[in-house]
Amino acid sequence: MRIEQLEYLEAIVKTGSINEAAKNLYLTQPSLSNALKELEKEIGIQILVRSKLGVSLTDDGREFMIYARQILDNVHLLEERYQKQSPRKQALSISAQHYAFVVHAFVELIRGVNTEEYQFTLRETETQNILEDLTAFKSELGVLYLNNFNKQVLEKLFKENDLVFTPLFVAQPHVFVGAHNPLIGKKYVTLEDLEEYPYLSYEQGERNSFYFSEEILSTLDRKKNIKVSDRATIFNLMVGLNGYTISSGIISSELNDDKIVAIPLKVEDTMTLGWLKHHKLELSPLAKEYLEILKQHIEGFGFEIVE
């Protein structure tokens, strides 16, 4: 296997066309096709599916590209260090439940990137989508929580999908409410205190299982229920309707959360928030840097990182 073969493959994937990639590489279409066939034969998998509309990666091809890009990243780092070539465009994709600390760390990471070009993706999405993104190598990292209720089911899914969960910190559940909610000023709230307020939760799509819920105590029967799909909407409903949701307690005033207040919820439960990755994937330097920023941000809110 040669570095140039991986570079050829990357060009094909980027353009979605062997013809276009050949033009960009100043190669003939047959020579590029032959190079790809040789690579597929050598590693024993089909990397691309060819059609009239172009080419796309197979499942095996997506996994192969994860490793190929890591190799190319390291090659370009060597070239940048010793040949003074322009740096390779940095890329990172993250899929997460709806947490402000995830976004805040993402912002800090990008602010610190010293390059003119980059490709970053942050998906605040449904729990099932996080697992699917990691399994398909669409994202390098995932962030979600476990507790006594969902742990057994989710850990079974992690195992089935070759995913590894690493704890970050343990949080006591908090209720998020608007800054003018009548509950403000209480040292803590109980479930009884919340009975007359609208309960806000994130929808989980077609597989709306209680085990995929982003909020603990998802099986409780509530008088008023509102499902939402994004943090901006849930915050607006907290302010506009005196609604509430249940989360970790971390609020980022730097990211427009200043109208929201966290109040401890008096229940016998905890949330273990952590990150996920595919066990076959070695984290990129950028992903490792993001995790360090994430940990620093979490510690800044007074939480102890699980070692």
Bridge partners of 141, per DSSP, are 94
Q: Do 147 and 272 form a contact (C-beta atoms < 8 A)?
A: yes
pLDDT in tens, 140-165: 999 999 999 999 999 999 999 999 99
Which range, 43-57, 190-204, 254-268, is most confident? Answer: 190-204
Average pLDDT over every residue of 99-123 = 88
Complete edge-to-edge strand list for the sheet that includes strand 245-247: 245-247, 174-178, 260-264
pLDDT-based confidence at 182, cuts 50/70/90?
A: very high
Q: Is the pLDDT of residue 296 over 90?
A: yes
Of residues 27 and 160, more confidence is placed in: 160
Backbone dihedral angles phi then psi of residue 169, each to the nearest 5 degrees: -160, 160
Q: Is the pLDDT of residue 62 over 80?
A: yes
| 232/151: higher pLDDT | 151
Q: How far apart are CA 247 and CA 176, in angstroms?
A: 7
Q: For residue range 251-283, what is the model confidence (pLDDT) as tens digits?
A: 876 655 678 899 999 999 999 999 999 987 888
Q: Residue 237 has which token pair?
A: 């409903």
Q: What is the mean pLDDT of the chain?
A: 88
Pairing of strands 141-146, 271-278: antiparallel
Residue 142 three-state SS: strand
Single-letter amino acid code for the residue at 173? P
CB < 8 Å & 24+ apart, contacts of 35-42: 35/4, 35/5, 35/8, 36/5, 36/8, 36/9, 36/12, 38/5, 39/1, 39/5, 39/8, 39/9, 42/1
State residue 207's pLDDT score: 64
Domains along the sequence of the chain with CATH = 3-83 (1.10.10.10), 92-166+272-300 (3.40.190.10), 171-264 (3.40.190.10)
Q: From CA 158, how far away is CA 164, in angstroms rounded?
A: 7
